[in-house]
Amino acid sequence: MSDSREKYLELMHAELDGEATDRELATLREHLASDLEAQRVRAELAKLARVLRQVEEVEIPGDLHTSILAVLPPLRAGLKADAQSRSRWRLRSPFVRYGYALAAGLLLGAAITGVAFRNLAPLEKPDVYGTMAALENTTHYIAVEQMKLTAPDLE
C-alpha cells in the first residue's frame, strides 16, 4: 500500500472514531470526492464500525485461566516427575554435556572435511618420484642410496 493510501486510511479511521480534526476531515472529503475506491473502502469501514458498536461488551472473569486449567485432564504425576528427573539428569551431568559437545564437534569436523576434500582433484603419482640432484654438485651432500633408472620414457 502506498504512503498516500495509508494516510487516507488512517484519516478514515480517525473520522469514524471521532478523533479527526476539521482540517483532516476537509482533506479526507476532498480525497473521497475524487477517488471511487477510497469511497468504497470508507463505506465498508463505516459499516464495520456500525456493527462493532452493536456488539455487547463482555467483562472477562478474573479466574478464567484457573477455570480453564481445572477443566483440563490432569497430567499423570508419575509421568511428569519421571520426565523432569530424566531431563534434569541429562542437563546436570557434565559428562553428558561434554559428550554432546564432543559429538557435535566431531560431526562438524567431518562435514567440513568432507566439503573441503570433495573439490580436490585426485593425486596422480608418477611411477618415479623423489628428490634428485646432479652428482657433480654433491660435494656437501651425503648420498643415502643410489640406483640406476632404466625406464623407456625417462631421460
pLDDT for 22-50, tens place per residue?
999 999 999 999 999 999 999 999 998 88
Distance CA 15, CA 42 (A): 10
> Does any domain span residue 37?
yes
> Does any domain span residue 28?
yes
Give, rounded to a whole angstrom, the gap between the first and last alpha carbons of the chain.
79
Q: Is the pTM of this model over 0.75?
A: no
Is residue 92 very low, low, confident or very high in pLDDT (cuts 50, 70, 90)?
low
Structural domain boundaries enclosing 12: 3-54
Q: Which residue has the cell 546436570?
A: 92
> Does any domain span residue 42?
yes
State whether 50 and 86 are in the same domain: no
